[in-house]
């Protein structure tokens, strides 16, 4: 049950519409992102909030908007995660990258402890569809505070499809 204070509590994350990303094929052509790093401990992010504040400051100072609130996470090891934040233009003093290719996305909802199950399900689905995937990203669509306010914790798994 939502209380009056829940309705007036500010949010920092846009509300996510899972229908736009669930079981979808996406084509990106030179889609702009800025990349940064997050330290992790056995895949658990340690400085995610600090990194996101830094990226938010960079985009705000550049007068740019975020594209769909899209923020991809690439767990490169137990100790590091690369963050790709979609932007509408290049930003000085940061690492600008572009992603091009065909991607498949699937939306999951629930506690982060289910990530292992989601990844297995995603692997099964992509195999059933005959996709050969290479790069795998996760998109944690809201921070914990906003997920609580919205009542849903959506996570999108996105994979690059190799031809």
Q: Is residue 136 part of a domain?
A: yes
Q: What is the pLDDT of residues 81-118, one digit of tens each?
A: 999 999 988 998 889 999 999 999 999 999 888 988 99
Tokens 């790069």, located at residue: 135
Per-residue pLDDT at 1 exceeds 80: no
Q: Is residue 13 part of a domain?
A: no
* Domain range for 132: 21-162
- Report yes or no: 71 and 21 within 8 Å, Cβ to Cβ: no
Q: What is the pLDDT of residues 118-140, one digit of tens each?
A: 999 999 999 999 999 999 999 99
Q: Is residue 137 part of a domain?
A: yes
- State the total domains in the chain: 1
Q: Is residue 30 part of a domain?
A: yes
Q: Is residue 72 part of a domain?
A: yes
**What pTM did the predictor assign?**
0.87
Per-residue pLDDT at 161 exceeds 50: yes
pLDDT of residue 105: 98
The CATH number assigned to the domain holding 133 equals: 3.20.80.10
């Amino acid at each position: 049950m939502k209380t009056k204070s829940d309705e007036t509590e500010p949010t920092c994350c846009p509300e996510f519409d899972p229908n736009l990303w669930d079981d979808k094929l996406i084509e990106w052509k030179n889609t702009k992102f800025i990349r940064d790093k997050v330290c992790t401990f056995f895949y658990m992010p340690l400085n995610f909030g600090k990194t996101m504040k830094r990226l938010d400051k960079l985009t705000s100072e550049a007068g740019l908007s975020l594209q769909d609130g899209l923020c991809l996470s690439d767990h490169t090891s137990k100790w590091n995660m690369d963050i790709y934040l979609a932007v509408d233009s290049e930003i000085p003093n940061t690492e600008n990258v572009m992603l091009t290719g065909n991607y498949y996305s699937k939306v999951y909802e629930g506690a982060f402890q289910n990530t292992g199950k989601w990844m297995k399900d995603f692997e099964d689905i992509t195999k059933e569809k005959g996709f050969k995937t290479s790069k795998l990203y996760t998109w944690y669509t809201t921070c914990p505070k906003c997920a609580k306010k919205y009542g849903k914790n959506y996570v999108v798994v996105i994979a690059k499809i190799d031809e």
